[in-house]
Copies of this chain bind each other. A is one copy, B any other.
């Protein structure tokens, strides 16, 4: 499967001289992304495209080719696949649409038999292909000017739908989320979600796997694979088509039989796959699971400088079944001498709007050493004037504290706040703008490690 993400040689079949054509955009993106392998544009009518020599067919190339991207009209694909087979190409990414998703089942069958005949593996058809942030293999046919590519990271994203994948990659790259590999697999004629999950499960660059699926042809295979992978790394999944109306829509999108929400939820739970209700949850969960260690239990201590945010976070944490214990008398006494008299030392610890950076330091030390606390939800509203830039160092020290308790930050605000939250996330501490999103993420973190036992 490595050849799908970092091939040593790659043919782009359907490479075009016209800037708006898919085959042109793919070739251009591979060059822009600094693809490390050898590139071969295929087009019988061109000599050169983007300064690369062009070939009429893969059969005209003397060197060995590992992988081919096919971006030609559906009707041409059987003949092209035959040539790929004859050339000894082993891996195909077929972005072309117009198969079973529009009722063209015969053509899909024809393609399938050619794949079998030559023992080729294929991603697609009707997909966006792959993106590898390390190898520069970027065959998404969306221009870099419109879609920001992520920096290299440890989250990988398997996405049946190309649009869901690419639009969220774009949004999250802007929010500085980093990715290892991305793959949109469309109709899943050959390579399916289970194959990709298995591969990424063993990929050393991937620490977290996000999954968007519309339909699953072999549910048992997926569950068995997931059960195995989730022992090693978290898998978070969102399911499109969980309602009757949604399921009807999947048929014309990726020709998938959707199945009900209840079946998927139960199967995911059994395999310890975290079920995300929304796309926003999917990536909020990925962030906490990327950055936080295993919590020892469900007890969360809130520290805040905004009473209302402490209350909203308390409500959300309670709703999701997490526990808020009162600090011990010893902790209270120790802390009372070090914070302002208006501070409320319960759970939440409300340091009030007059909080200083030093008081945050004391409060963090107290709760990291408190036995009743498994996780710390640190609310830092940076608008209050006495918080100094040293808050970053204090959060860094807390992150490195020997207790290794997960620390999650809520910080809500505009540009000034964002300047800080970027730095805090660089330390490996996840930040959220809204209390409810943080609480849902904490629940996902706890569930993953608790269910893994």
Contacts and interface: CB of A to CB of B under 8 A. Distances in A.
Contact of A414 (B147, B341, B436): B147
Contact of A246 (B145, B147, B314, B383): B314
A384 interface: yes
A170 interface: yes
A30 to B, nearest CB: 16
B253 A382 contact: no
Given A280-B437, A308-B253, A314-B245, A416 B145 contact: yes
Nearest to A381: B167
A214 B308 contact: yes
Nearest to A302: B249
Interface in A188-232: 212, 214
A432 to B, nearest CB: 10
A153 interface: no
Interface string A340-380: 01101011101011000000000000000000000000000
A389 interface: no
What class of interface size applies to chain A in its complex with B?
Answer: 35 or more
A127 to B, nearest CB: 11
Contacts of A167: 306, 309, 381, 383, 412-413, 417
A25 interface: yes
A77 interface: no
Contact of A163 (B163, B305, B433): B305
Nearest to A418: B174
Contacts of A308: 159-165, 212, 214, 240, 253
A307 interface: yes
Contacts of A315: 240-243, 245-246
A307 B161 contact: yes
Nearest to A175: B414
A73 B165 CA distance: 55
> Of residues A160, A171, A341, which shows the largest number of chain B Cβ atoms within 10 Å of its Cβ?
A171
Contacts of A245: 314-315, 317-318, 324, 347
A414 B319 CA distance: 33
B161 A306 contact: yes
A386 interface: yes
A97 B25 CA distance: 61
Contacts of A102: 341-342, 344
Given A166-B383, A243-B314, 18 more contacts: A142-B384, A146-B383, A160-B308, A161-B309, A162-B306, A163-B381, A166-B381, A167-B383, A170-B416, A171-B417, A171-B433, A245-B314, A245-B317, A246-B318, A249-B311, A249-B314, A253-B308, A278-B436
Interface of A: 20, 25, 97-98, 102, 141-143, 145-148, 159-168, 170-171, 173-174, 212, 214, 238, 240-246, 248-250, 252-254, 277-280, 304-312, 314-319, 324, 341-342, 344, 346-348, 350, 352-353, 381-386, 412-418, 433-437
18 contacts: A97-B342, A97-B352, A102-B344, A141-B385, A142-B385, A147-B383, A147-B414, A163-B308, A167-B413, A170-B383, A171-B433, A174-B413, A174-B414, A243-B315, A245-B324, A246-B312, A277-B436, A278-B312
